[in-house]
Amino acid sequence: MTTDAPTPPAAPVQRRYHFHWPGVTYVIVTLFLAVGALNSQNNLLFATLGVAMGGLLVSGIISGWSLMGLRLERDVSTAGTVGSPMQVRYVLHNVNRLMPSMALNIEEVRPRRGTGGWWEYFDTPRAFVAFIGPRGRARARATVTPLRRGCPPLRYVRVWSTFPFGLAKKSMWFEIPQGALVYPADLRLRPEFLRSLSAQSRLGSGEEPSPGHGDEFYGLREYAAGDNPRRIAWKPSARTGTLVIRQHAAPAPVRLWVVLRLGSRAHAGLDEVSIALAASVLRQAEHQAVAVGLAVPLTGAVHAPRRDRRHVARMLEDLARLDLAALAESRATGAEAFPAAARRGASIVIDADSDTPPRWGGGSRVAVKQVRSVVLDAPENSRLLALLAGGAA
Amino acid sequence: MTLAARYNRLACALVMLGVAAYATAAGSMLVLLCLPVIAAAWYARVKHGWMLPRLAVNILLTGVIGVAVYRVLGGPVSVDTIAELVLLILLVKLWDRRTPKDDGQLLSMAVFMGIAAMLTSIDLVVGAEIVVMIPLLAASVMLFQVYAGRGDGPGAASALPRGFMRHVRSLVALTVMCTAVVGLSVFVLMPRGIGRDRFGNWGMTYARNVSGFTDTVTLTGGGGVISQSPEVVLTLQVRTSAGVSLGGEQTIHYLRGAVLERYEGGVWSAAPEPSVTTIDAVAGNTLLLTDEPIRVTVDQTIVLRGLGPQPDYLFAEWRPVRLQYHSAARHVPPNAARVLRAGAKEPGRFEYTVSSSLGIDDEPGERSPVRPVEGPIADLARRVLRNAGIDPDPAARPLGQDMDAARSLQDYLRNNFRYTLETEAAPAGRDPVEWFLFERKAGHCELYAAAMTLMCRDVGINARLVTGYVAVEYNAPADQYVVRASNAHAWVEAELGRGRWRRFDPTPSDELARIHRPAMGLLTRLRNWLDAMKFAWERSVVSFDEATRARVIGADRDDAEGLFPAVDRFLARVRAGGPRLLGTALGAGAMVFVVCAATGSGLVLLAHMMRRRGTLARRSRGVRGREAELAQRLTQVRFYDHMLEALTKQGRGKPAWRPPLDFAGSVDDARQAAAVRSIASLYYAVRFGGSDLDDAQRRDAEAALAVIVKG
């Protein structure tokens, strides 16, 4: 996969204590007990005051002890998709020999509010671990729904607990710099578009046929030793007086180019819709076992059609990493050319700028402004399109 | 068991225990009746998810607030008011457990109920409930942290991680141990007496004064010392000056309190005193009560369960000669009758040691003059003495015969009257003593004592009525007498020569024993143990005061006893003894460790074996259960047995080693083979598939069996 590999267990870099309202309440009650004991000279209250103070002490000892042996791994190797749940996995190790750790909350540390950036489109991943025995480990998963494609930067993870009595919130900070990957949104395409996609791909088999093991007839040739007698063409053999056998053509590779034309000056959201649509076509092509390639003229990125899951993942990653802001300059020059390689095959041109007339032949053109004619009229599509076209992503 | 189930059990138990503690402390049956309500609410929420709608909860809470406002406006706010308010909110919140926050509030309210219980009562039972609450609270809160973090998601219902509860138990044990140590330290080290009642009286902080003694005994009905209350008034330890215990189940001690010398209109009262002055005495003060030389003494250490700040009677055997206070007191100098009185500076438990002289008196000097009252009582007294051969005329009777005279009167009363606790008032206008002596001839100890006192006076013997307690209930485990309100008694002191007062008890001795001595049975023994525990509780917890604290920790370094001096002595011994002492100590320590470790390991092993046996038994029960279930299911496939029998009769029986379906393949006849296969398949479905047959399958089986039987 193309995201960062899981890290080795990291040791905490910082420890923090926060006194929150249950702790404040506890202290107030303890003070109340002290005042009550002194005022009434009730020995039971004196004893209870001692127990309350002991509870405070024990709470500090247990919580500190149980968190001290924690080590953390984070795994974001599985890429997410805009608008779909994405999982961030954690493995917590407790290297403590005696003390278990309980009720552990794991959460990524967000930068301070107002700093903007990725975190405005990314919920804080949170996970919970009920128990880790001494020298044990536990796995946890945080599920988030990213609202933007790209590489959300993850750095600090905070593991906190209020165990045992909920009096104070103790946290350990782990520094694990990693980048997750979020693919463009996955739009559900209309079946007729998918059928046309399939047809396009077949039309796109522009290469010369070659002999092979397909079903199509390729030609006749003289019999040679070792040929399967079942493939002898008896009638032509009778006509020619020489044994000839039938040859079949090799299956024609089904190839499709997806050409992504960015460059909407009217609305940046259309570019995002274009990218999402291109990604959806790539995914669908993969499902239909079509060798698919991608060309993005503005960036010069060209991926020749191949039928390979990892190939599709690489193309999706390219789409995920497209930085529209950086491309603004290239977009202004308009210096984009239809990729030469794509001219020979069938192609689907996804055009973000509907005002520009189609200049390139050879393939069908999808104007993003009419994207609803391509995608299913489903609520999730509407939600995603609204999200993308709204410029949020 | 899931986490939620475990948490719910513990939390429910904690809430119920908190409410039960308050119910015990307040003595409220109504609060006690809330316990089933709490259990039902918890059950309904856990098992059926029942909750009240938000609107209903809000209405109820508004009602609770209304009640609270009404109570606050109606009178002073007390602990009871607040506790009842918390209880009402708790009862409403029980039906509104939607989020973990609600559970947290319930746990907090349970703790508040426990605190309210402590502010209301310091009884042993309340203390025991609070002690049980502590580990329960620790475990509940620990589970709550995990429960609240997991939430109600799919993980909540999943089984607990392996070892989770074992570690929770360990942590609870650690918590209890540490909090006990810290709690004990704070309990001992916190100074007492600072800031008392600075913010008003918050609740009952000391046991009530239960001696209930007054200066008057009214024989005309009501009043008096007669009581049947089992409430413990005081505890008594009797020792010789050498420290030998004089307690025993057959030994009775008379603790005199009030001395009543005036009789008028059926009412006995103490002689008036012009003024009562008090002297402040600190704990440890010893006061001499006489100028006489002190000979043999008996030391009585008495712990009164409750003594107020106003001077009240102290109790002691005749004749008190020395008094040592163990609590700060307002001492009242004793009068001529050596009646002891004091008030407590810190109300509550009050302890003192009084030494009574058992010395042999000097030769009697002369008889104190007594003015007889002529009347039927005097006639009776004279007649009794004459019948005993004693001259009733004091002028003619030698002083040495006064003892015999008093004994004769005592015996007369003991033998001719019936003892009863039925307090029947004398008819109007009649003297109660005369009515007792001449008409009713039955009564209680006050009437006996009053009659003898008057009869003694009428024959020239100075006498007075004494009220106090008889200590008959000896608690061997605690080596002390437990004296209850029902042990109140009245007797007579007669002066056999000036200043030579002797005790006489005209109450029939067997009746006295019957009334006061508890029956010795299992229940009594249990009660004795309970009393011993109560005594220990009150002595070491409830009544722990500044003096005790100073004594325990040795706040004054000059004090011979206490923690600090003990440490000093130990260090001095170590310094003096050197390595040899250290080696001996280490050896002893190792021995103790080995013994403790062996005992502990044995107990752990025993517990493990018992647990293992329990597990095996449960498994065995499980296997038996499954076998029974299988046997029940196999009754559906009797046709399989019938098939085997039919095939055996036809000489084509199935070998035992051959599986049924395989056997079906070996049958020659195709129809029969199909029939055997059909039956075998059904048998497999029931025997191994665990499924039940429907009617169609049964019919198929019967048809196949018919084919096989026909051959």
Q: Report pLDDT digits (tens) over B38-59.
A: 999 999 988 888 888 889 999 9
For residues A224 and A341, state if they share a domain: no
Closest chain A residue to the Cα of B140, Cα to Cα: A165
For residues B237 and B330, state if they share a domain: yes
**Position B562 in a domain:** no
For residues A127 and A217, state if they share a domain: no
**Position A290 in a domain:** yes
For residues B184 and B237, state if they share a domain: no
CA distance B249 to chain A (A): 33
Nearest to B127 among A44, A128, A163 (CB): A44
How many percent of chain B have pLDDT more than 90? 24
**Position A350 in a domain:** yes
Q: Is the pLDDT of residue A157 over 90?
A: yes
Structural domain for B319, as ranges: 231-255+275-357
Give the dihedral sign, CA B147/B151/B152/B156. Answer: negative
Q: Report pLDDT digits (tens) over B101-151.
A: 899 899 999 999 998 998 888 888 898 999 999 999 999 999 999 888 876
Contact (CB<8Å) A43/B346: no
**Position B17 in a domain:** yes
For residues A244 and A257, state if they share a domain: no
**Position A205 in a domain:** no
pLDDT at A332: 56
**Position B82 in a domain:** yes
Give the dihedral sign, CA A380/A385/A391/A393. Answer: positive
Task: Give the CATH number, domain containing residue A170.
Answer: 2.60.40.10
- Rounded CA gap, A79 and A279, in Å? 14
ipTM for this prediction: 0.76
**Position A196 in a domain:** no
For residues B172 and B246, state if they share a domain: no
Task: Report the predicted TM-score, pTM, of the whole model to 2 decimal places.
Answer: 0.64
For residues A20 and A114, state if they share a domain: yes
Do residues A166 and A301 make contact, with C-beta atoms less than 8 angstroms apart? Answer: no
For residues A228 and A285, state if they share a domain: no
**Position A4 in a domain:** no
Token pair recorded at residue B439? 């008409």
pLDDT at B205: 47
Token pair recorded at residue B490? 């009245």
Highest average pLDDT, of A147-161, A350-364, B206-220, B565-579, comes from A147-161
**Position B71 in a domain:** yes
Q: Report pLDDT digits (tens) over B458-514.
A: 999 999 999 999 998 888 877 888 888 888 889 999 998 888 889 999 998 888 877
Strands B348-357 and B320-325: antiparallel
For residues B184 and B321, state if they share a domain: no
**Position B483 in a domain:** no
For residues B156 and B18, state if they share a domain: yes
Residues 6+ apart with CB under 8 A from B537: B124, B127
For residues A223 and A333, state if they share a domain: no
Domain boundary (B155, B189, B223) is at: B189
Taking residues B325-330, report their average pLDDT.
85
For residues A111 and A77, state if they share a domain: yes
pLDDT at A18: 84
Nearest to B119 among A38, A42, A165 (CB): A42
Closest chain B residue to the Cα of A34, Cα to Cα: B190
Residues of chain A whose C-beta is under 8 A from some C-beta in B? Answer: 22, 25, 29, 33, 35-51, 53-55, 57-58, 61-62, 100, 102-105, 128, 130-131, 133, 138, 161-166
Secondary structure of residue B127 in the 3-state scheme = helix
For residues A86 and A149, state if they share a domain: yes
For residues B135 and B235, state if they share a domain: no
Interface test with A, best of B141, B164, B185 (most A CBs within 10 A): B141
Structural domain for A227, as ranges: 210-249
Q: Is the pLDDT of residue B362 over 70?
A: no
Contact (CB<8Å) A100/B167: yes
Domain boundary (A195, A227, A249) is at: A249
For residues B169 and B66, state if they share a domain: yes
**Position A296 in a domain:** yes
For residues A47 and A153, state if they share a domain: yes
For residues A175 and A244, state if they share a domain: no
For residues B148 and B240, state if they share a domain: no
On chain B, the residues whose CB falls within 8 A of the CB of A53 are 182-183, 186
Q: Report pLDDT digits (tens) over A169-206.
A: 899 999 999 888 999 999 988 887 767 766 665 554 44
For residues B241 and B152, state if they share a domain: no
Task: Give which of A151, A157, A127 is closest to A2, Cα–Cα.
Answer: A151
**Position A199 in a domain:** no
Q: Is the pLDDT of residue B208 over 60?
A: no
For residues B282 and B185, state if they share a domain: no
Domain boundary (B189, B210, B245) is at: B189
pLDDT at A93: 94
Looking at the 3D structure of chain B, how many domains does it have?
A: 3
For residues A24 and A105, state if they share a domain: yes
Question: DSSP state, B556?
Answer: S
Taking residues B61-74, report their average pLDDT.
87
Q: Is the pLDDT of residue B349 over 90?
A: no
On chain B, the residues whose CB falls within 8 A of the CB of A161 are 145
Contact (CB<8Å) B198/A38: yes
Q: By mean pLDDT, which of A56-70, A254-268, B503-517, B600-614 is the weakest?
A: A254-268
- Rounded CA gap, B621 and B627, in Å? 10
**Position B9 in a domain:** yes
On chain B, the residues whose CB falls within 8 A of the CB of A166 are 104, 141, 144-145
What band does B212 get if pLDDT is binned at 50, 70 and 90? low
Task: Give which of B323, B320, B318, B272 is closest to B466, Cα–Cα.
Answer: B318
Q: By mean pLDDT, which of A354-363, B176-185, B295-304 is the weakest?
A: A354-363
Nearest to B195 among A38, A105, A162 (CB): A38
**Position B283 in a domain:** yes
**Position B49 in a domain:** yes
**Position A97 in a domain:** yes
For residues B121 and B50, state if they share a domain: yes
Looking at the 3D structure of chain A, how many domains does it have?
A: 3
pLDDT at B579: 75
Task: Give which of B316, B322, B337, B367 is closest to B272, Cα–Cα.
Answer: B337
pLDDT at B14: 95
- φ and ψ at B279, to 5 degrees? -120, 130
What band does A344 get if pLDDT is binned at 50, 70 and 90? low
For residues B240 and B183, state if they share a domain: no
What band does A242 get if pLDDT is binned at 50, 70 and 90? confident
CA distance between the termini of chain B: 56
Helix spans in B75-220 (H): 79-93, 100-120, 124-150, 164-189
What band does A251 get if pLDDT is binned at 50, 70 and 90? low
Helix spans in B192-288 (H): none
For residues A173 and A271, state if they share a domain: no
